[in-house]
Structure 1
Amino acid sequence: MIVVREYDSSRDLADVEAVERRCEVGPSGKLSLFTDLLGDPLCRIRHSPSFLMLVAEMGTEKKEIVGMIRGCIKTVTCGIKLDLNHKSQNDTVKPLYTKLAYVLGLRVSPSHRRQGIGLKLVKMMEEWFRQNGAEYSYIATENDNEASVNLFTGKCGYSEFRKPSILVNPVYAHRVNVSRRVTVIKLDPVDAESLYRLRFSTTEFFPGDIDSVLNNELSLGTFVAVPRSSCYGSGSGSWPGSSKFLEYPPESWAVLSVWNCKDSFRLEVRGASRLKRVVAKTTRVVDKTLPFLKLPSIPSVFKPFGLHFMYGIGGEGPQAAKMVKSLCGHAHNLAKDGGCGVLATEVAGEEPLRQGIPHWKVLSCDEDLWCIKRLGEDYSDGAVGDWTTSPPGSSIFVDPREF
């Protein structure tokens, strides 16, 4: 007898943590990445507008939790539409929104797999999505995770949708130099919201509640990079506000925001040989002893470490990628001051600003896999039609609450 019910933190925490530990068994002889949710199984969904966690329980007298799943719902941009009533000579492009659900954190105890528990958890979660008006559901998984891909595309009706890249850069023992030709300006949340809505609201997956993201306690700020030679780069008091800035932008500029994942979860790399650990420690010692050499070093990832996540990356102009690189350097120094081991982001595979994002290929994932499913046929999608069949754009907006 398998019963699927809502997670109860007052009685389920220890059992859920036990299942998480049993699932964290990496391939023998290979490096594996493990996640510690810091005693809060809801930490990766609780910042979303609507969320739920379900557990699968087995047994009659002595009940045992053998699986769990998490899900959340939000409103995002799924396409664009033209405002034909706009009075200017050119039609105004506006975002087309849909209610999107996200499935994450599906776990089934190794001793109870191949019994349909995962499928039952997904179906129950999808039913909750439908009851709460979600039009689409999507999941993110590793491209080579055959079990996960087969479950969702083979049994649950999902289709492969987008293949973004996860770019990860280590946080060195030395500070990264930010170009003296660039001025980095920190925006207040209201101004940051205005900039994102005016410039990026038509980007695929842009969250309708971007204000909630930017005002969240885990948000470390939004930063704009401009040429120091521009009128906006002269120092304090030169920022005119987002609306005026976009009306008269410099030749090149860029923006990104930083999210503190360190206070939500910690990561740990396991399975490394003693030699690899010694080499990594040696690079840190040299970097810390001789920081002026600016030598790249491997952080201490073989014990629990935190990360900062960069999101909302965008910009314009011929030097936009260089502006992004300066912002990434600024974000690196924030992560160093915050005691993080790595700095990460996720972008579309064809993101034009990708070349400005420093990352180590050995730590990164060239193709993350997002799969999507339409939950009902009675929804009106307006000009976009069925979102699941739409071609990918050059950019996506990755919500930090779901990373």
Structure 2
Amino acid sequence: MEEGIMVREYDEERDRLRAEAMERMCEVGPSGEMSLFTDHFGDPVSRVRRSPAFLMLVAETSGPVKEIVGLIRGSVKSVTCGKAIPRNIGAVTAGKHENPLPSPIYTKVAYILGLRVSPFYRRMGIGLRLVRRLEEWFKVQGAEYAYMATDKDNEASIRLFTGRCGYSKFRTPAILVNPVFAHRLPIPRRIRILRLPVADAESLYRCHFSTTEFFPRDIDAILSNPLSLGTFLAVPVAATCGGGEWKWPGTEGFLAAPLESWAVVSVWNCGGVFRLEVRGASRVRRGLAWATRAADRALPWLRIPSVPDIFRPFGALFLYGIGGEGPEAAAMVAALCRHSHNMGKGTAGVVAAEVAVCEPLRRGIPHWRRLSFAEDLWCAKRLAEGYGDGGAVGDWTKSPPGKSIFVDPREL
């Protein structure tokens, strides 16, 4: 049967409806269990379309009636894989003793996502063929590494990538999800939140976060994307008092004289690309969730932690570029999460973030454990040597994880 399968590039005009139908078939979970469904508004390429380079492949049966039985998506971009420490740490310039900051080491990395094979055509090697064909394209694009993300309990996916495709377990970030309630969340009076212009947000990220693992070289394209709802800075109100209201001095001025504590986060509107829906919930669960929402709407001042209506298509906000400094940085992040929650009120069902397991600011991100994932497994593979600056740090796939990681919202 495998010999009758052809792998080719996705053609939007003739493949869209068949690809959607096949993908829906793959999302059907076990009978009686709740399952999370994703609706991409009729655009199967939406999850990679905003990347610098992307490709979608389909596996199609031969014969008079052609059927799409598999698909896969991939994208390529340049990201930080390490940092270079200047050798002349004790440089003397104009009579001043300076410590040069580390500079990022970039490499081209490919991302695999959305691998699907029809339930009726599994165990025929179709998934393996799709992965290998996509990797060939990655190499042509100059990618040195490829990686993919999957649920740590997805044994079939892990077995394919680590057992047959040569990938190794690389990182295990946590996905933290918090519901959007019917009431607004108050921002602590001691914290003030400012919205940064896109140009200033870009310069702040490049100056302060560019050595973070997976930091995208084209951060400007992400921040200026219509789905990016803004970058927000949290500062202590005490900094705005005294000599008048504190004003954003620009990135250079801010980093030259930083506040004792501050935090920053950017917000991405996933609802502009896809909608989520939980199916398979019992009437009892639906009724209990409805009761919490009704009570929350009727008595908003009580701030009842209600369950949003996740049993119908709902949108989500994603927090990315989370960072900050100082003893109160986690509290500042918590305030930014509350601000993002209020932005999503009425339009989004949840607010989500993905961070490294050992991220210091993680304790400031509110989340419901039942909605979150403690470990989102990333597997990686080195495709070739010498394509980018990544060779300067050896084999990145063998490097230990850092404290922080930058998750690109375009790849959700």
Q: Give me the TM-score of the superposition, normalised by structure 1.
A: 0.97
Change beyond 3 A, Cα 1:66–1:286: same
Check the 8 A contact 1:228/1:234 in 2, yes or no. Answer: no
| CA–CA distance in structure 2, aligned partners of residues 28 and 352 of structure 1 | 40
| CA–CA distance in structure 1, aligned partners of residues 348 and 357 of structure 2 | 26
1:110 aligns to what? Answer: 119
Is 1:74 paired with 2:77?
yes
Is 1:262 paired with 2:271?
yes
Change beyond 3 A, Cα 1:40–1:165: same
Is 1:356 paired with 2:356?
no
Is 1:32 paired with 2:29?
no
Map Cα deviations across residues 181-214 of structure 1 (whole Å, 9 max, x no partner): 1000000110000000000000000000000000
Is 1:2 paired with 2:11?
no
Change beyond 3 A, Cα 1:280–1:316: same
Check the 8 A contact 1:205/1:398 in 2, yes or no. Answer: yes
Deviation at residue 34 of structure 1 after TM alignment: 0.7
| CA–CA distance in structure 2, aligned partners of residues 235 and 198 of structure 1 | 27
2:151 aligns to what? Answer: 142
Is 1:245 paired with 2:254?
yes
Gaps of 5+ in 1: none
| CA–CA distance in structure 2, aligned partners of residues 284 and 189 of structure 1 | 36
Counterpart among 19, 24, 28 of residue 21 in structure 1: 24
* 1:368 counterpart letter in structure 2: D
Gaps of 5+ in 2: 93-97
Deviation at residue 232 of structure 1 after TM alignment: 8.2
| CA–CA distance in structure 2, aligned partners of residues 152 and 170 of structure 1 | 33
Query: Greater CA deviation, 170-179 or 242-251?
Result: 242-251
2:224 aligns to what? Answer: 215
Change beyond 3 A, Cα 1:145–1:232: farther
* 2:248 counterpart letter in structure 1: W
Secondary structure of the residue that 1:275 maps to in structure 2?
Answer: helix
| CA–CA distance in structure 2, aligned partners of residues 109 and 347 of structure 1 | 32
Check the 8 A contact 2:81/2:390 in 1, yes or no. Answer: no
**Within 5 A, what are the aligned runs for 1:123-202?**
123-202=132-211
Deviation at residue 29 of structure 1 after TM alignment: 2.2
* 2:350 counterpart letter in structure 1: V
Check the 8 A contact 1:307/1:343 in 2, yes or no. Answer: yes
| CA–CA distance in structure 1, aligned partners of residues 230 and 339 of structure 2 | 12
Change beyond 3 A, Cα 1:75–1:112: same
Secondary structure of the residue that 1:20 maps to in structure 2?
Answer: helix
| CA–CA distance in structure 2, aligned partners of residues 42 and 317 of structure 1 | 41
| CA–CA distance in structure 2, aligned partners of residues 356 and 223 of structure 1 | 15
Query: Greater CA deviation, 264-273 or 22-31?
Result: 22-31
* 1:279 counterpart letter in structure 2: L
Change beyond 3 A, Cα 1:147–1:182: same
Check the 8 A contact 1:191/1:241 in 2, yes or no. Answer: yes
1:372 aligns to what? Answer: 380
| CA–CA distance in structure 1, aligned partners of residues 305 and 339 of structure 2 | 16
Secondary structure of the residue that 1:300 maps to in structure 2?
Answer: coil
2:95 aligns to what? Answer: none
Map Cα deviations across residues 326-366 of structure 1 (whole Å, 9 max, x no partner): 000000000114x1100001000001101100100000000
Deviation at residue 231 of structure 1 after TM alignment: 3.8
| CA–CA distance in structure 2, aligned partners of residues 335 and 371 of structure 1 | 32
* 1:333 counterpart letter in structure 2: N
| CA–CA distance in structure 2, aligned partners of residues 235 and 350 of structure 1 | 38
Q: Give me the TM-score of the superposition, normalised by structure 2.
A: 0.95
* 1:257 counterpart letter in structure 2: S
Sequence identity (%) = 62
Check the 8 A contact 2:231/2:265 in 1, yes or no. Answer: yes
Map Cα deviations across residues 357-399 of structure 1 (whole Å, 9 max, x no partner): 0100000000000000000134463431110000000100000
* 1:383 counterpart letter in structure 2: A
* 1:285 counterpart letter in structure 2: A
Secondary structure of the residue that 2:321 maps to in structure 1?
Answer: strand
1:395 aligns to what? Answer: 404
* 1:207 counterpart letter in structure 2: P
Map Cα deviations across residues 298-344 of structure 1 (whole Å, 9 max, x no partner): 0000011000000000000000000000000000000114x110000
